[in-house]
Copies of this chain bind each other. A is one copy, B any other.
Amino acid sequence: MLTIKRLSHDEARILIDGARLKAEEIGIPMCIAVTDESGVLIAFERMDGGKTTSVVIAQDKAFTAAAARKATHDYNTVCVPGSLAFGIHTEHDGRISTVGGGLPVFDGEDVVGGIGISSGTPQQDLDCAQAAIEYYTEKTKA
């Protein structure tokens, strides 16, 4: 029997809080999604003014980061014509995201969830995702 580690809802909310703080700091209302280790949504927040399209894109970034255990910007790097990974972005009905802003959430060596951010530039989205991870790490350390 396997035992799987998975973010709780309270932990997902900590990640969202960290992302929102950074989003407020840079002045971009973001869509913020947190999934479990299988890529299934735990918590979502669209800040007032977040883009409509980003509701799905944020979820897809989190899905990709968690379920493929890879930052979306790392997929971006290898998803270039001629690379053997090119084309991955059309998989799962196009839900595999190669756009910056999705990060896996680790507990030690294990991926326990994913966070995806959308509404800014991919770099802004990634900055908020990174800030969320740092905030979460700080808040949950023993």
The residues of A with any CB-CB pair to B shorter than 8 Å are 1-9, 11, 36-48, 51-57, 60, 63-64, 66-69, 73, 75-76, 79-100, 107, 112, 121-123, 126
Q: Give chain B nearest CB distance to A129 CB in angstroms.
A: 12
Q: Give chain B nearest CB distance to A104 CB in angstroms.
A: 11
Q: Give chain B nearest CB distance to A29 CB in angstroms.
A: 9
A38 and B41 form a contact (CB under 8 A): no
Contacts of A41 in B (CB 8 A): 44, 46, 55
Bound CA span A54–B45, Å: 18
B1 and A5 form a contact (CB under 8 A): yes
B87 and A79 form a contact (CB under 8 A): yes
Across the interface, name the chain B residue whose C-beta is closest to A107. Answer: B1
A51-B79 contact in complex given A87-B89, A91-B97, C-beta closer than 8 Å: no
Bound CA span A17–B133, Å: 25
